[in-house]
Structure 1
Amino acid sequence: MDPLVAVILVGVPLAWLVAFAAYAYLDAPNHGMDRRKWALIAFFVPLFGFFAYVFERGERDYDPSEDPYAPGSDARTAGLAVHERRRGEKRLGPAGTEAADGDEDGADGDDEWNDPDGIEIDDDRDR
């Protein structure tokens, strides 16, 4: 057998197994798991062992103090925050048009909905 073919047939899959085991070994403590156990499983049970580790590990806990977009007391960052680079730009309205500043009803004072012709909405109806 040609040495190049042997390297490809044996070396590449072995390198993948070592990479999967190394990832499990380094990542397991972040999730409170035994690093040696999961590295051995990822190495000796090809492919299935690595996917078992990925699906078995716990999700990381969410810490709102580290999230820059979490609602906070600062109105600037509450809810849907705007990235610093976008702060000076004009806001966009529907379909990419420029939003009207301070005029929510539109220029002609009509309702914001564009009703088809022939349909009249009675705003004074009893509810």
Structure 2
Amino acid sequence: MQPLVAVILVGVPLVWLVAFAAYAYLDAPNHGMDRRKWALIAFFVPLFGFFAYVFERGELDYDPSEDPYAQGNDARKAGLAVHERRRGEKGLGPAGTEADDEDDEDDEWNDPDGIDINDGQDENRAG
């Protein structure tokens, strides 16, 4: 067997197994799991052991007090957070045009100029 073929057939899968085991070994304490056990499972049970680790680990909890975009550190009030460099800029309308909210207070859909959906329809309903 040629050395290149041996490297491809043996070396590449071995590198993948070591990488999966290393990831499980380093990540397991973050989820409160035994690092040695899951690293050994990920190494000695090819591919399935790593996926078993990924699906078995617990989800990390979201802490709104650590979220820099939660306004007032309350996730319910966060809504659509605006980055501090963008505060005070004028909003954008459809297709990236500037929104002119002052002129179209009664226009719910913000239609482009020259288009009136209610052309004559209100008169036909009344009569």
**TM-score between the two structures when normalised by the length of structure 2:** 0.77
Alignment of 1:1-127 (within 5 A): 1-72=1-72, 78-100=78-100, 103=102, 106=104, 110-113=106-109, 115-120=117-122
Taking only the aligned residue pairs, the percentage that are identical comes to 85
Equivalent pairs, count: 115
Gaps of 5+ in 1: 122-127
- What is the alpha-carbon distance in structure 2 between the residues aligned to residue 4 and residue 110 of structure 1? 72
- What is the alpha-carbon distance in structure 2 between the residues aligned to residue 87 and residue 71 of structure 1? 13
Deviating beyond 4 angstroms after TM superposition, the runs of 4 or more aligned structure 1 residues are: none
**Larger helix fraction of residues:** 2
Gaps of 5+ in 2: 110-115
Q: Is this contact kept in 2: 1:91–1:98, CA < 8 A?
A: yes
Coordinate RMSD, CA, aligned = 2.5
Deviations 1:41-93 (A, max 9, x none): 1001100110111111100011001112224279xx84211113323532112
**TM-score between the two structures when normalised by the length of structure 1:** 0.77
Q: 1:12 to 1:73 in 2, by over 3 A?
A: closer
